[in-house]
Amino acid sequence: MKIIVSGAGKVGQTLAAYLGEEKHDVTLIDSSPELIAQVNETLDVSGIVGSGSHPDALERAGAREADMLIAATPIDEINMVACQVAHTIFNIPKKIARIREESYLSPTWSNLFSRDHMPIDMVISPEKAVAHAIMERINAPGSFNIIPLVEGQLKLVSVLCHDDCPLLNTPMKQIYTLFPDLLFKIVAIIRGEEKIVPDHMDQLQPKDEVYFVVAKNHMARAMAAFGHEEKEARRILIVGGGNIGVRLAQELHERNPSLVIRMIENHPERARYASEKLPGVLVLKGDALSRELLEEANIGYTEAIVSVTNHDESNILVSLLAAEYGDPRTIALLSNATYTPMASSLGIDAVVNPRAITVSSILRHVRYGRIKAAVSLRDGFAEVMEVEVPDTATALLYKPLKTLKLPEDTILGAILRKDDVIIAHPDVVLHPSDRVILLTSHRQIKKVEVMFSASLYGSYF
């Protein structure tokens, strides 16, 4: 596939790196010569200097042969114009734009991004996606990361194994024997720098980060099996009154008006704006690292602190400081992925990485075959995919999973068949239209795409 990515920031470079490794023909456009020089030196893609909204730059990037444009610059208007030019002049079939401004996303103007107006096939809103991700973590206390799949009927959850985790030093096969009626399956383990796709004899160790797939209505039982039975927070402090903080407060209040929500914002104008937008929220102006202000925000009675400022270091420090006022659950926005492995040792209970969330939102629209969703885990060591089984996939249908020659480092987690959740085990067979949740290493993605594509492939090797 020929793909043009406009914008060589963190999101653009991460996308280009993933897609380049998968042998797509990728060209990255940016107006910064320094960023493009960096791209050409470090990534297996082409980089050109220019604006993604300019026809000449798009033409130099090969727009006449392109299958897709991903407009991911920090400026909404450049992304919008890039999609318009890509459609009008070059007839690029698929156009994805990152849009951040709230007014563009209002339901009032829902027809703005239609083919007859501003032809954008998919709008990605980072702030909206991040707010939803934080909501999921608040709703599932004890989770380090949580991602809904198949319209929320299944969840991909990560938890940290503490020293008192009941499942430590127990082979996978025995874990499932201990909980025969629990609809969950462990699909990945991160142990320091080691990433493990587990087999039936692998065992959990203290400090492991474990990813598992679970049916929505079995979530509480699965968390309890890992020793996590924390209560849902009802008194919440949000640090940071930017777009993410305001949207999060709005959604929390809409979901449960009885929640006690407070916010701290350092910038006077932004604090005033947040106060106007959030009539049910007490907004305090000042530095969240001030003990006096934290006490004014009633931190001693707060059950969850969500720090979503633009500075990773401030979000970390707020979480550290919160530990001195009891044991509130701490959730931090960390854009620098190098901080994530250190989060638990810093006293942070859950981490949200906006770059990873944005990249995952875009990747689902790049995948071939019947792939409905794709979630990149921890700097791309693996992807969790939601895939529909086509009725023409004769190599897969009605055969026990143990007889299928799956690509290396690939594990099936769960299957949704109509409204029934089925945990993948060796004797399960796939039916047409099953929705399968699987994990695969980054280098096996192409094989998985082919495996779940039409029957014309016959075999996927």
Reported as a single tens digit per residue, the pLDDT across 260-301 is 999 999 999 999 999 999 998 999 999 999 999 999 999 989
Pairing relationship of beta strands 350-352 and 235-239 according to DSSP bridges: unpaired
DSSP alpha helices (H): ranges in 140-260?
172-178, 219-225, 243-255
Phi, psi for residue 399 in degrees, rounded to 5: -120, 135
Handedness of CA 306, 309, 311, 317 (dihedral sign): negative
DSSP letters for 64-111: GG-SEEEE--S-HHHHHHHHHHHHHTT--SEEEEE---GGGG-GGGTT
Give per-residue pLDDT as tens, 82-105: 999 999 999 999 999 999 888 888
Take residue 203 and report the two structure tokens written for it. Answer: 């065992």
* Residue 240 backbone class (left: φ over 0; alpha: ψ -120 to 50; beta: rest): left
Q: Which residue has the tokens 């594509």?
A: 453
Give me the chain's average pLDDT, please.
89
Could you read off the pLDDT of 4-55 as tens digits, one per residue?
999 999 899 988 988 887 788 999 999 999 999 999 999 989 999 999 999 9
Q: What is the pLDDT of residue 117?
A: 82
pLDDT of 81 over the 90 cut: yes
Strand pairing report for 184-191 and 194-196: antiparallel
Examine the pLDDT at 456 and tell me if it is beyond 70.
Answer: no
pLDDT of residue 190: 92
pLDDT of 368 over the 70 cut: no
For residue 337, the model assigns a pLDDT of: 81
Q: Is the pTM of this model over 0.75?
A: yes
Between 448 and 307, whose confidence is greater? 307
Residues 11 and 34: beta-carbon distance below 8 Å: no
Calculate the CA 313 to chain-centre distance: 21
Answer yes or no: is pLDDT of 454 > 60.
no
